[in-house]
Amino acid sequence: MMSDQMNRRTFLGRAAVGSAALTVGANSTARAASANDKIVVGVVGMSRGRRVAQTFANTDGFSIKYVCDADTERAEAGAEALGEITGQAPQIEHDFRRILDDPDVDAMVFALPVHWHAPAAILACQAGKHVYVEKPCAHNPAEGEMLVAAARANNRCVQMGNQRRSSLVIRAAMEKLHDGIIGRCYFARSWYAATRGSIGRGQEAPVPDHLDYDLWQGPAPRRPYRDNVIHYNWHWLWHWGAGELGNNGVHVLDLCRWGMDVDYPTRVGAAGGRYRFDDDQETPDTHVVTYDFQDGKTITWEGLSCNQPGAGGNNFGATFYGENGSLSVGSANYLVRDMEGEIMERDAGNVGDDEHAVNFRDAIRQDNPELLHSEIAGGYKSTLLSLLGNIAYRTGQSVQCGEQGRIMDNPEAQALWQREYEPGWAPKV
């Protein structure tokens, strides 16, 4: 254990919550859940996490013991909403590290600002918990690799929240692709569009009484509180977020990676900018990224955060192009065309939230991470695509990648492979 870490139990026993660094205690649980056992869960982050908690609560085999948020208003609202579904409100815990100390808890859900995902998930693995972590699973590639290592070292089931991996209709589309319905597939074009507004020009302001800003910042180096960042707008600032590419791009890039059966790119290029509004947003609202892979395969992504999707009318999707036709996937549907453009097949379903929870449950019950539809090694690879697209954008250079997607011969881009952490909060594996 590194010198800048102190024992989590020691800390939690004596310190005021919200003032301490990331720390790791002994592996507190490794309880294998039998088919009849409830999997006891703590859910952290009560916005997206509130939805995930409701899905888990409606899934046979889970019991939500805790909800947690650095914002007490959100924690209380989340607990109340869950109580209405289950008939019994979960306990509210302010600091998720206390939940890690509860040996009854089998699994954690993290739906947090991106800078928290990998550090929190690593701590949970080290405390013996299985983890459902929202996408993207990491703020930078180095901590993504650490998360995969932590999952392995502790033999935990770690699922990323790219739920379309469990969507029946998307799975059927991928099977058709892999079975050769459009022949050899060499290109996938993907996109996301939304009509987001401006985040304006913020200013320093007092921290609201209901927010523990120190805990919210956690592993990120400290910055003064500003009035246009929390909640949600952190997505658009590199210090905490990963832009639209890490937000919605990662969902569809994951489908492209899956459909094309590729892992790491050889070259990544990017264009675009913050074109639509002149405000505090650092990440691009118009972002075009290209990924080349070995064996003659290319993926592109177009992100339009502040505009309409265009002629197709579909704000989320990917089209795979093969020798004999194309296959398009939307958020929860697909459509196959032959080379004349005639529709050969189509189907629609749902995005897979429920099925993703069931898959997580079943992998835990069988104590087998290999059963996960989005096991973290794969989740990280798709996250890495989004992070590399951001690195190419931020440096204004194409990046060449080698083994495990590592950036080659480019010190400026390589410097973004990792981040600085608030002293004492760096994740360690």
Q: Which residues bind ligand NAD (CB under 6 A)?
A: 44-48, 68-71, 74, 96, 111-114, 116, 134-135, 161, 163, 215-216, 218, 231-232, 247
* Cβ at position 218, least distance to ligand NAD in Å: 5
* Cβ at position 75, least distance to ligand NAD in Å: 8
* Cβ at position 345, least distance to ligand NAD in Å: 26
| CA–CA separation, 265 and 399 (whole Å) | 10
How far CA 71 is from CA of 76, 95, 226, 361, in Å, comes to 9, 11, 15, 28
Nearer to ligand NAD, 209 or 409 (CB): 209
* Cβ at position 130, least distance to ligand NAD in Å: 18
Nearer to ligand NAD, 11 or 293 (CB): 11
Nearer to ligand NAD, 51 or 189 (CB): 51
| CA–CA separation, 37 and 22 (whole Å) | 31
Nearer to ligand NAD, 232 or 408 (CB): 232
Rg of the chain over all Cα atoms, to the nearest angstrom: 21
| CA–CA separation, 400 and 344 (whole Å) | 38
| CA–CA separation, 55 and 50 (whole Å) | 9
* Cβ at position 147, least distance to ligand NAD in Å: 14
Backbone angles phi, psi at 370, to 5 degrees: -65, -15
Q: Which amino acid is at 386?
A: S
Nearer to ligand NAD, 95 or 106 (CB): 95
Nearer to ligand NAD, 123 or 268 (CB): 123
* Cβ at position 337, least distance to ligand NAD in Å: 27
User: In the bound complex, which residue of the shown chain has the CB atom lying closest to ligand NAD?
Assistant: 47
* Cβ at position 313, least distance to ligand NAD in Å: 21
Considering only the C-alpha atoms of the chain, give the largest distance between any 2 of them, rounded to a whole number of Å. Answer: 70
Nearer to ligand NAD, 181 or 252 (CB): 252
* Cβ at position 341, least distance to ligand NAD in Å: 31
| CA–CA separation, 294 and 314 (whole Å) | 30
Q: Please report which helix (H) or strand (E) contains residue 362, including its range.
A: helix 353-365
Cβ contacts of 282 within 8 Å, gap of 6 or more: 236, 237, 238, 274
| CA–CA separation, 18 and 69 (whole Å) | 12
Number of H helices, E strands in the chain: 13, 16
In 256-342, DSSP assigns E strands to: 267-273, 286-293, 297-304, 316-322, 325-329, 333-338
Nearer to ligand NAD, 333 or 395 (CB): 333
